[in-house]
Amino acid sequence: MMIAAVTVNAQVAGKAYLKPMVGATLATVTNNDNDMKFGLVAGAEVGYMCTDNFGLTAGLLYTQQGAKADGTKNNLEYINVPVLANVYVAPGLALKAGVQVGFMTKAKAEGLDFKELCNKTDFSIPLGAAYEFGDFVVDARYNLGLTNVGKDVGKNKNSVIMLTLGYKIPF
């Protein structure tokens, strides 16, 4: 019983927290035969529990995205701002959905900068789940891109899987 009390964090309405987080991405761009590319994600989210079973979060995340095509890595980097609703379906287990806007900071392949050919803003829909072990949070998300990466190229949207580990700091 003591182990269960330590590993599951009860949600309490009216509580706010800061959650620094770090993790990995698997990303691609949805055109032709691109392969997934490994990257990193780091940042923080601020959360507020509206009720015992419902909370909201807003974050600021640096995310490495892009794709591999014909052996070439297309490296895209964004500052992403996700806003998510969190529904707790069981103690410590939250389902997440929301909206995200991303601001491109880098677009390079083989040392060549192609940022001028890209849209600087990226909109997506993040969907996922998180599980809390005490104040530690494991978060898995899929970001469904809505905006074309390239300005003049068809159907080339970001598709990103994120897995992060965070730590909730109440305030």
Is 72 domain-assigned?
Answer: yes
The confidence band for 2, taking pLDDT boundaries of 50, 70 and 90, is very low
pTM, two decimal places: 0.90
- As for how many domains the chain has, the answer is 1
Is 26 domain-assigned?
Answer: yes
pLDDT at 9 over 70: no
pLDDT at 6 over 60: no
Strand bridging mode 54-69 / 157-167: unpaired
Is 1 domain-assigned?
Answer: no
Q: What is the CA radius of gyration of the chain?
A: 17
Per-residue pLDDT at 162: 98
Is 94 domain-assigned?
Answer: yes
The domain that holds 71 is classified in CATH as: 2.40.160.20
CA atoms within 13 A on the CB side of 171: 8
- Write out the residue range of the structural domain in which residue 14 sits: 6-170
